[in-house]
Amino acid sequence: MAKTTLVIMAGGMGSRYGGLKQLEKIGPNHEKLIDYSIYDAKKAGFDRVVFLIKEENLQLFKQEIGDAVSKHIEVAYAFQSTTDLPEGCEVLPERTKPWGTGHAIWCCRNVVDGPFAVINADDYYGPKAFQIVHDHITADHDGIDYIMAGYVLKNTLTDNGSVSRGVCQVQNGKLCSIEENKKIVKGLDFAESYQPDGSVNKLPLDSVVSMNFWGFTPDVFEKLEQGMVKFMNTPTDDPLKREYLLPEEVENLLRAGYCSVTVIPTDDRWYGVTYPEDREPVTNAIRNLVRGGMYPDSLWD
């Protein structure tokens, strides 16, 4: 049986945060949020972890995370590079910005050969979602059925600024569509998303949103490659900044009838360090979970 893998997207340096927020020490023994995700994944039955990073950060990640975690779970690394593109795509030497989350996952194609989940490195998701995603990707299904953890919008907002969220339409437990909303701020009765044209979208606080927690089977790599070729060869006014995003390609596959996506609703509280001001409340929340017995004082002892 193929091993189940957790792919952790850790390639970005948070511009709003001001550094490598994936390495911010949060737990009582200097654990990072990424440590709690790996702990929950291992407990749920995942066999290995793949860190998707910039190659220049390899030694730093080994020193700060990988070497310690590798004593408890198999670890591998994949690298996202602007020059690692499918055949038929033109390399743009002047491009410095990563090509987006869809391209990032495609960059794992040579180190993942079984069912896998995808998460962000700097988010806390809660243990329940890991268990449900693991059980789904290892089960037999009629046809191709991916999975996404759906979070309640109000549980994913920060008091310290705006965020971007993929707002989902779900019917009978299946994903119908995702619409990316940027510059979302918390309101009293609604969240408000400020649009480029100056208009404001009011979003119900109980909206289901994607936090980039997905479960896939390895056939998705071929589909991502095909989508990337189409994306790269579509004319655009801004080829140096546009991104090939995982949620958008999943929606394309849905519309094409290639797959379905089961959505697991979860009322778990999401935690993340989007802004420096988020660090203290997130630290307090994690330490309360430790005091409540959800996690040991020291994860890896």
How does pLDDT run across 37-60, given as a tens digit for each residue? Answer: 999 999 999 999 999 998 988 998
Among residues 211, 224, 282, the alpha carbon closest in space to that of 250 is found at 224
* pLDDT band of 12, cuts 50, 70, 90: low
Average pLDDT, the chain: 91
pTM, whole model, 2 decimals?
0.93
The length of the chain in residues reads 301
With pLDDT > 90 as the criterion, what percentage of the chain qualifies?
70
The torsion angle over the Cα atoms of residues 10, 98, 271 and 148, rounded to 10 degrees, is -90
> For the domain bounded by 5-291, which CATH number is listed?
3.90.550.10
In this prediction, residue 108 carries a pLDDT of: 97
With pLDDT > 70 as the criterion, what percentage of the chain qualifies?
96
DSSP 152: E
What is the token pair recorded at 22?
């994936």
Task: Indicate the domain borders of the chain.
Answer: 5-291
* pLDDT band of 188, cuts 50, 70, 90: confident
Three-state secondary-structure class, residue 232: helix
Q: Is pLDDT at 18 greater than 60 in this prediction?
A: no
Q: Is pLDDT at 67 greater than 80 in this prediction?
A: yes
Angle between helices 220-232 and 246-255 (to 10 degrees): 100
What is the token pair recorded at 221?
């790599």
